Structures are given as C-alpha cells and as structure tokens.
A and B are shown apart, each in its own frame.
Chain A
C-alpha cells in the first residue's frame, strides 16, 4: 500500500491529478492493473458463490424447471401438488405434546385457527383423480404473536428417495415415455441402481393400504423434525394426521375427473371432519436424516391434539392458494432435523412460489360453489 504521508511532491492542488492524462501515465498502469485485479477477484468470488461458474450443479431452479418440463407450465399453479382445494378449521391441543415441545400450540388448552389444502401429488393441475393418486394435506397453524407452523404431508408411508438429487432423478425415471405412455423400464432400472435406498422405499409405497378418499387417509410428515422442550432438549419426531371416525366411503362409483375432491367437499359440507395430530417419537438409532427408512413399529406416539376441519373453498376463494407450505416455517419449539430434503424443499417451494405468484391465475379444476360464502 502507498503511504499517505508520501503524496507526490510535484502534486499541485489544481485538480490536475484527476486529469485523464495523469490516470493513464505509464507509471500508473501497474496500479490500475492492481485495482482491476481486486475488483475482478471480488466479482469472481461473487459469481462462484452464485453458482454461475458451475452450471452442472443441481439448484432449486433446476428442480422446478424439471416439473415444468414434464408437466407443462400451468401459470399460477403450484409446480407440484398442483390440483387442490382449501379447507379451514381449528386445532385444539391435548396438552400432551408440551412435555417434549415448547411450541405454544401444544400447551394445554391451546386452540389455534388452521387453514390447509388437500391436493394430489403431481404437477398437472387438471389431472384426473384416481385411486392410486398420492394424496396430500398441507396445514397452516396460526399461533399467537405472529408465529406460524406450516407442514405438508403425504399419504404414503415413506419418501422414495433420501435427497434432492434422488428426487430429481426419480422425476426423470417415472416420467411416462411420450411414445408408450409408460415410464421407460431401462431408465427406472438405472435409477434404482443409482439410488440404492429407493427400491425398498418404493416397495413400501406401492404396497401401502390405499385410502378410499381424502377423508379416510392418514397424512405423514415423512421427514423427521426435532421437538425442542423448555430446556432446549431435542426429541426426534415424525408426525401424522389420522382420521377420527372417517365417514364411510359412499358406494358411489369412482366417476368424474374430480371424484375424490367432490366427495371431500360433500363430506365437509355435511359435517366437520376430525383428525388427530400424532407425533411418533424416534429412539436412538432411528434415522432422522433418511425419510426412506420407516421407524420400527411400537415407537411411542403422542397425540398432540385434534384438528377439526369444517369449511371447504376452492383455491380462487380460499386462503390456501397464495402461500407456500414450506416445511421449515416452524414455530419456536419445532426445529429442522438433519434431513437434507427439508432444506431442499424449502428452497424449491420458494422458487415455485415466486414463479406462480407473478403469473395470472386461472380457476382451479376443483371449483366449489359456496352458497352464502363470506370468503374474501
């Protein structure tokens, strides 16, 4: 560095030092070069951090782009779990969760408003309902003091893969071949080889007991989380939402593109639906990082409370469309586990949300006529 006490003796105070002729003197060139190097180094470090120099890296944007490539871009809709309806109701705590989590909604007598969204997994908002479609329930619990808890759950027992790369490859392997209409078996085989955790998980998923509708399904967090108690002690948990006295599935034939949603709306319009929110407590040795591995039967279950849903609205009129059920929107008392999929979900949901919020919205495939609705 140059010493301040050593200005050029010849320098005059007439502004001549700022002239271009001074700037580009030969003796100045090394100094100008040094400045250039400093600026380039900073800009280069920035570009490297942004991933601009490593285009092969898997990013949240690439994952969302793959959904769009395979399902088409449906402006305004979620890029996954695109077809859904909004529901709302209330969560009433049993008080039993308070011993393992200090989250205020688990205190005895706590009761918080909830809204949520039932949906089908898949990026096509106009897909037809079918018995094997994976069903999901996402919930938003509004705690006091502006805290929120959002969770998205699926009705499968485990997740097929253990990381984001696995999910990215899974999307490719299960994509129907445009020619045959079925996934390419060779691609599936290559996928199963590359992701050794997937075969056992897929066996559990395809062999699951399928629910008839939305109302009688059990929805699972799949990913593990940590409950944090008043002393900061962490307890690994996975949670599920289980139906209490689900309505008898009516004998009506599975008809119509929206038969699952229509049945759900009919049920909710005739009587509230009730679920139990249950935490399964992991023991040492139970994997928290790998959602493909089920925890052994017989793990302690804590019934955190009861969820009562009594209102159904379509996406256009309900509260669920313009939010994202980012699984890491958690209140104090619930924390992320070491499952890397959670952070990847958070990042990908933000990309999907950012894109769809800027697009013109179309009505959802599921439209609910709400007589006398006071919806916004």
Chain B
C-alpha cells in the first residue's frame, strides 16, 4: 500500500504525453492505410513525433529532479520486475520510435520537413537498405509500443480495481 503520489509536474507530463502518443499511434496506423487523408496526417505526424522526442528528453530530466513514489514494499518480485521493465521499455520506445522515424526519412532522402520552410537535418546516411530496415523497424516498434501501452493500462487498472494498493491513485489527476 502506498499513499504517496507522483509530483504534479510529472503527472502533467504523463497525461500530456499519453494523449500525444496514443494520438500518434492512431494517426500513424490510420494514415498508411489511407489515400485521401495520407498527406495531411503525415504532415501532423512528423512535427508531433519530434515534439514527443523533445518532451521525452525533458521528462527524463524531470524524473531525475522529481523522482516517482516507490512501489509498494510488499509488491512481489515478479510484478515489481514487470513494472520496472515495462517502464524502461516505455521510455525506450518514446525515444526510439521518433528517432527511427527521423532516421528512416533521412535514409530515404526525404526532407524531414516539419512546418513552413523548416527542415531538420538528416541523422542517417542516404542508403536504400538502411531505409527499408528502418521503415520496417518504425512499424514494428510502433506496434510494440501500442502493445506495451495496452499492458500498462491493464496493469494500472489491476492496481486500481483489484490490488487497490494505491499505485493507481498515484497518477490520475493532472493537477493537485
């Protein structure tokens, strides 16, 4: 049982990014199956993805400054390991998916244009094989991301509805 909650700033990050990332997953999976909506969806997908990359970096710094509450002391080791592991995976994917998106466009010699005349520099060499590999990696990691998010939501609800150990309530509200 824990009573401590996440710092308010961490909760803001959590919910803002939860909305952005879920939106990105839906935009991404929807746009590649779409003809008419492909272009405008891609044009929000790219800047939003880079925004997530930036927010992730700031969020990790914030995590150092404002550490999260400890997990319940009596949480069994396997669940504890799953919790820590899945959180690591989530952070890893928050970096990896947008970085791979950026790198794949670089390798495919696409301009990584975000808005107006602003184009990011390439972060990978122009290389067909690399493009193909990164393009597939972007899809695979994004699907893994969605799966881990589902597991995360399932686990949070288990804590809230079944274990009732205070873990669920350490996050919900966006403000104090």
Contact = CB atoms under 8 A, between A and B. Distances in A.
B29 A46 contact: yes
Contacts of B127: 322
Contact of A17 (B40, B126, B132, B163): B163
| Of listed A11, A329, A343, residue having the most chain B CB within 10 A | A343
Q: For chain B, give the interface size range.
A: 35 or more
Given A7-B1, A354-B135, A15 B109 contact: no
B175 interface: no
A266 B38 CA distance: 40
B25 A60 contact: no
A324 B162 CA distance: 52
A2 B39 contact: no
Given A331-B117, A343-B38, A39 B153 contact: yes
B34 A17 contact: no
Contacts of A45: 26
Interface in A22-36: 22-23, 28, 31-32, 34-35
B29 A49 contact: yes
B150 interface: yes
A83 B110 CA distance: 22
B119 A145 contact: yes
B83 to A, nearest CB: 11
B19 interface: no
A147 B117 contact: yes
A367 interface: no
A323 B127 CA distance: 10
Interface in B1-54: 1, 25-26, 29-40, 42
Given A46-B146, A146-B111, A336 B162 contact: no
A357 interface: yes
Nearest to A356: B128
Interface string A53-89: 0000111110100000000000000000000000000
A38 to B, nearest CB: 7
B38 A344 contact: yes
Contacts of A346: 38-39, 42
Interface in A119-168: 145-148, 164
Interface in B116-140: 116-117, 119-121, 126-129, 131-133, 135-136
Contacts of A13: 1, 72-74
Contacts of B160: 1-2
B161 A357 contact: no
Contacts of B35: 58-60, 63, 164, 340, 343-344, 347-348
Nearest to B133: A358
B117 A17 contact: no
A328 B111 contact: no
A194 interface: no
Contacts of A50: 29-30, 33
Contact of B162 (A4, A22, A63): A22
A101 B117 CA distance: 13
Contacts of A347: 31-32, 34-35, 38-39
Interface of A: 1-2, 4, 7-8, 11, 13-15, 17-18, 22-23, 28, 31-32, 34-35, 38-39, 42-43, 45-46, 49-51, 57-61, 63, 104, 145-148, 164, 322-324, 326, 328-329, 331-333, 336, 340, 342-344, 346-348, 350, 353-354, 357-358, 361
Interface of B: 1, 25-26, 29-40, 42, 72-76, 79, 108-111, 113, 116-117, 119-121, 126-129, 131-133, 135-136, 146, 150, 153-154, 157-158, 160-166, 168-169
Given A15-B76, A32-B162, A350-B32, 19 more contacts: A13-B1, A14-B74, A17-B164, A23-B162, A39-B150, A50-B29, A51-B34, A60-B38, A322-B126, A323-B108, A324-B108, A328-B39, A329-B110, A332-B116, A340-B36, A344-B36, A347-B35, A357-B128, A358-B129
30 contacts: A1-B160, A4-B166, A4-B169, A7-B166, A11-B164, A18-B74, A18-B163, A22-B162, A23-B158, A34-B157, A34-B161, A35-B161, A49-B26, A50-B30, A51-B33, A57-B33, A60-B38, A147-B119, A322-B131, A329-B110, A340-B36, A343-B39, A343-B40, A346-B38, A347-B34, A347-B39, A348-B35, A353-B131, A358-B132, A358-B135
